[in-house]
Chains A and B, each alone.
Chain A
Amino acid sequence: MDYLENWIVQARKGFLELCILNALEGEERYGYDLVKSLVDTPGLGLTEGTLYPLLSRLRLQGLVTTRLEESPEGPARKYYALTARGRKIAKQMNEHVEQMLQGSRGLRARKE
């Protein structure tokens, strides 16, 4: 693995959780649909199997809630939604990322 690939893996680790929380912002989504949309997000470079352990951890930490609902078209669907705490954390994370990006951009602009 070259240096860039390694950096992308490291950067993606924390960023993935934020992406999940953002995807659930304002609406409830079922797992299969959520995973499909995240996998299709450019830059994340995900495989579908990676996301479920993350979703489980978020539930255990109380950031998302889940419920099961029978589906006539296939297996039962598991719906995910943000908790109040999840919303609050997501907001703080987004602000922090924004700050980091602004800071980083600011450093570049000063040199230029």
Chain B
Amino acid sequence: MLEWTVSAEAELERYLAEARTAASVSGADPEEVEGDLRRHIEQHLADAGVRRATRDDLARVLSRLRPARPTPASEPPEAIAKPRRISLGLIMAFGVVLPVITLVFEAFTGLCGELFVNPIPTLWHVLLVATVPLANALAWSRLAFGRPASLKLVGLFNGFAIGVALYYTFVFLPVTPFAAIGIIYFGIGLLPLAPMLSLIMALAARRILRRYDRPVGALPPAGRWALAALGTIALLATPTIVTQAGLQWATTESPATRARGVGLLRALGNDDLLLRSCYRRDRAVGNMVSFLFEGLGRRITSEQAQQVYYRVTGTPYNAVRPPELRGLRTRALINAEDFDWDQGGDAVAGRLRGLSLRESRLDSRIEADSGAAYTEWILVFRNDAERQREARAQVALPPGAVVSRVTLWVDGEEREAAYAGRAKVKAAYQRVVQQRRDPVLVTTSGPDQVLVQCFPVPANGGTMKIKLGITAPLAPESREAGLLRLPYFRERNFSVPREVKHSAWIESPQTVAALQPEDQVLAEHPSERVYALRAELEDRALSRPFAVRVAMAGHPAWAALREDESRVVRQVLDETPVDKPGRIAFVFDGSRSMSSEAAAFGEVLKYLPAGVETAVLLAGDRPLTVRETAPWAPEAATDVVKALSEARYRGGCDNVSALAEAWDLAAAVPGGTVVWIHGPQPVSFEGEEALLQRIERRPNGPVILDLQVGAGPNAVAVMLNGSPALRAVADFGDPAAALARILDAWAGRKAFYRFERTRVPRSDIAGDIPEGSSHLARLWAFSEILRLGASIHEADKEEAVALAVRYRLVTPVSGAVVLETAKQYQESGLEPAAGDTVPRVVPEPQTWMLLLMGGGLAAARAWKRRRARPS
């Protein structure tokens, strides 16, 4: 391999540059001629046995290629072809070592991102910055040893590095004076100066290369490559610029601009960057573009970003894995960024690192005589993070169910909840959360839905165990069979690892079968009067949801009331036909989650009773009328299905505006009904107050039947919590079938069975009606509370709270809170439920059994006394 001295190679480059110029003038291919001449020269030198070519060697060859030229007197002799050692030392120290240390330090600690702005938000930025020390190292090596890279390559890298260093010098300009002061007075602060110093070194290296490594013309111009570097930086910033601009537009006051912003983000936005703006911890480490936007534009809150994220993607931000933090930060730094900003609030919010469900056990006992069921759900949370966590979840209850027991394990013992008005239990919970003690709070958050909050799940592997007791009515399919759905998570801030299964046990005195076939469901018949299902369900299977069909007795039943000796609750199975609505306004969610579902629901519309006035709206970015209000004809279903199939389902859409429009249509005639079929609604949209006003001011206005497809939050249900205007459609795992059941009932094609519970004098109960369990009384109390709670009279509301406290129920007017100590209960003015008054999953003793036991005890005591009496 032929080697060249620095000056010889410089001479060669100069000759070849001249030859290129001459070749291009003559019409030849300059590149080709250069290559030919280079090969020719190398062949000459090889033939002459030259291994290291000096200028003299080259001069001999060139004399054959062209007439010899005298060496200019000003050219440096071979002996001084190397630059001074001090110059090389400075280039190595400040142009190579310092930027490498700075880059590694920032990648590992993220300190600059924490304090100022993140200079390396992506791996591409890391590579870009790395070109600066690389270019300086190449230049240093070239100047020191004349190798390995050619002058052309060194010049190219040098120009690129000048561009990169120039950009970062500009970015760090605001902190440069502070860094300089730090060095002068404290001897620290060199790292912020790394861009500026490496820029100076790159420029110096270029100057020395020109001086010592001639010819000047062979060094590629710096400007072109510096511009290329700045262009690359701009290219890397483009997704951020588009996303930030889109975010600014999507959060303005003007609806048209908002729509434009959402459209831009859907088309060109970066989902990862958008997701980062939903998390406060990621906002703290924004890159240069975000920094400029936040400085020059409006500051966008995490909540605004979360709404935009849903509108753009159609997915709740907390349904996807939180973005990874770039850079190899320390664990403590990640933990510090993981603060739960929503702790103690009403929102479930994003998933928390380290918090998971470790155990889940569901025990259901069906009371076939009462047409009711009681389910206890034991949940064990574990927290592997370094700070205490609050576990939060929206739990979907079985249709018509009510939470009747809340228990927390403290030091291995069960502590029962106290029940009181919502405001009172919330205040008690928040007070105790601030003290970092052990409370659990359960409140309703919509029809058939509760919010569960547990704090603290201790840090570093600590666990917390709670139990929810749920009283539910069976949904009668006929006089002989009813359905029961298990509770499931609609939204949660903890993960459910794949290996964690929901261990379910459902037992009934009569036959029971799973509604949807599940591989892990086993039927058991442990004793003559017990039929059971045992299942190990994945979270996805539970939230599909999971339901069972049970044989039941459709005969009347009764149950004693609490603190009311004279009256009882009487339950009968009613099958009187339901009235069809005067007008039906359907609202289909136009969000992406419904893209494969909406048309299937359109098919179900063929079951609508003919002649009923029907309108169909699609809640897109703006409400869209699919069908104007007109009497329904079965053939209209085809047009509706076609329109729903052809509609574009993009992102997450505002359903509130369409609901308000549908409500107006339904309210125009007596008995109007809105049927709302939708995917998850994770964010609140503007216009909620307008809808709320309509519902509050017209208590007897249209009912909104709420049918949600797929697990996920429902912000509209939370907003309308406790309002009788919003009713959840009972879904047992097939939403389309649930809608078909309602339409069949309206059309009078199928009988519609439902339990009616009324309070009657005890004397009305004939001896042959079997007594139901206390759950019948709880279910009656729950419906009575809903009725009283919806009243506009304060006295009714107070009575509703009193009834909820008496029956220990979590309702729209009441909540349950478990505190750690008796003192905390006293301070909050609360009284926990006594252990012997809470429902249990083991069968409750019937009255006759209690009398029998009481009589037996009395007889035993009398016999004992008689024996003790001296004869």
Contact = CB atoms under 8 A, between A and B. Distances in A.
Nearest to A33: B43
Interface stretch (A15-23, A47-55, A86-94, A95-103): A47-55
Interface stretch (A4-12, A74-82, A104-112): A74-82
Contacts of B28: 52-54, 56-57, 60
A31 B39 contact: yes
Given A31-B36, A47-B66, A57 B27 contact: yes
A56 B42 contact: no
Contact of B33 (A35, A48, A53): A53
Interface string B737-760: 000000000000000000000000
Describe B's contact surface by its main secondary structure: helix
Given A48-B40, A75-B46, A53 B64 contact: no
A56 B37 CA distance: 11
A36 to B, nearest CB: 10
Interface string B7-38: 00000000000010011001111001101111
Contact of A53 (B26, B35, B47, B67): B26
A34 to B, nearest CB: 11
A49 B28 CA distance: 13
Interface string B801-837: 0000000000000000000000000000000000000
B40 A60 contact: no
A78 B39 contact: yes
A74 B46 contact: yes
A73 B65 CA distance: 21
B23 A53 contact: yes
B43 A32 contact: yes
Interface centre among B32, B64, B67 (most CB of A within 10 A): B32
Nearest to B42: A75
Given A47-B67, A57-B26, A57-B28, A52 B43 contact: no
Most B-side CB within 10 Å, residue of A53, A56, A75, A76: A53
Count chain A CB atoms within 10 A of each CB in B27, B43, B65 and give the residue with the most: B43
Given A56-B32, A60-B29, A49 B65 contact: yes
Nearest to B47: A74
B36 A52 contact: yes
Contacts of B43: 32, 74-75
B64 A47 contact: yes
Interface in B307-335: none
Given A47-B66, A49-B19, A56-B23, A78 B36 contact: yes
Most buried by A among B37, B38, B67: B37
A49 B15 CA distance: 11
A53 B276 CA distance: 60
B19 to A, nearest CB: 7
A77 B46 CA distance: 13
Contacts of A29: none
Given A56-B33, A74-B46, A74-B47, A32 B39 contact: yes
A9 B780 CA distance: 119
Contacts of A48: 40, 64-65
Contacts of A78: 35-36, 39
Contacts of B27: 57, 60
A53 to B, nearest CB: 4
Interface string B32-58: 110111111011001100000000000
Given A49-B66, A53-B33, A73-B46, A35 B22 contact: no
Nearest to A55: B36
B65 A32 contact: no
Contacts of A31: 36, 39-40
Interface string A32-45: 10010001000000
A74 B61 CA distance: 15
B29 A32 contact: no
A17 to B, nearest CB: 12
A48 B19 CA distance: 12
Contacts of B32: 52, 56, 59
A72 B405 CA distance: 90
B252 to A, nearest CB: 61
A49 B26 CA distance: 13
A47 B65 contact: yes
A31 to B, nearest CB: 6
Contacts of A35: 40
A31 B23 CA distance: 17
Contact of A52 (B40, B47, B64, B67): B40
A12 B40 CA distance: 23
Contacts of A73: 46
Given A47-B66, A57-B28, A52 B33 contact: yes
B67 A74 contact: no
A3 to B, nearest CB: 22
B570 to A, nearest CB: 102
A32 B64 contact: no
Nearest to A49: B65
Given A47-B66, A57-B28, A60-B28, A52 B42 contact: no
A27 to B, nearest CB: 19
A82 B379 CA distance: 88
Contacts of B67: 47
Contacts of B38: 75
A87 B38 CA distance: 28
Nearest to B36: A52
A75 B2 CA distance: 10
Contacts of A32: 39-40, 43
B808 to A, nearest CB: 92
B3 to A, nearest CB: 14
Interface in B501-542: none
Contacts of B42: 74-75
Q: Which of B35, B40, B47, B64 has the most CB of A within 10 A?
A: B40
A76 to B, nearest CB: 7
Nearest to B46: A74
Given A56-B23, A56-B29, A60-B28, A49 B46 contact: no
Contacts of A47: 64-67
A91 B699 CA distance: 107
Contacts of B22: 53
B39 A49 contact: no
A43 B27 CA distance: 25
Contacts of B26: 53, 57
Given A52-B33, A56-B32, A57-B26, A76 B40 contact: no
Nearest to B34: A52
Nearest to B25: A53
B528 to A, nearest CB: 93
B59 to A, nearest CB: 14
Contacts of B19: 49, 52
B65 to A, nearest CB: 4
A57 B25 CA distance: 12
A53 B32 CA distance: 8
Most buried by B among A39, A49, A52: A49
Contacts of B65: 47-49
Contacts of B33: 52-53, 56
Contacts of A49: 19, 37, 65-66
A47 B64 CA distance: 6
A19 B29 CA distance: 21
A4 B750 CA distance: 120
A75 B47 CA distance: 11
Nearest to A73: B46
A29 to B, nearest CB: 14
8 contacts: A31-B40, A47-B64, A47-B67, A49-B19, A56-B28, A73-B46, A75-B39, A75-B43
Given A53-B22, A78-B36, 15 more contacts: A31-B36, A31-B39, A48-B40, A49-B66, A52-B28, A52-B33, A52-B40, A53-B23, A57-B26, A59-B29, A74-B46, A75-B46, A76-B39, A77-B39, A78-B35
In the A-B complex, the 9 residue pairs with the smallest Cβ-Cβ separation, listed nearest first, are A49-B65, A56-B28, A74-B46, A53-B28, A52-B36, A75-B42, A75-B39, A32-B43, A56-B32
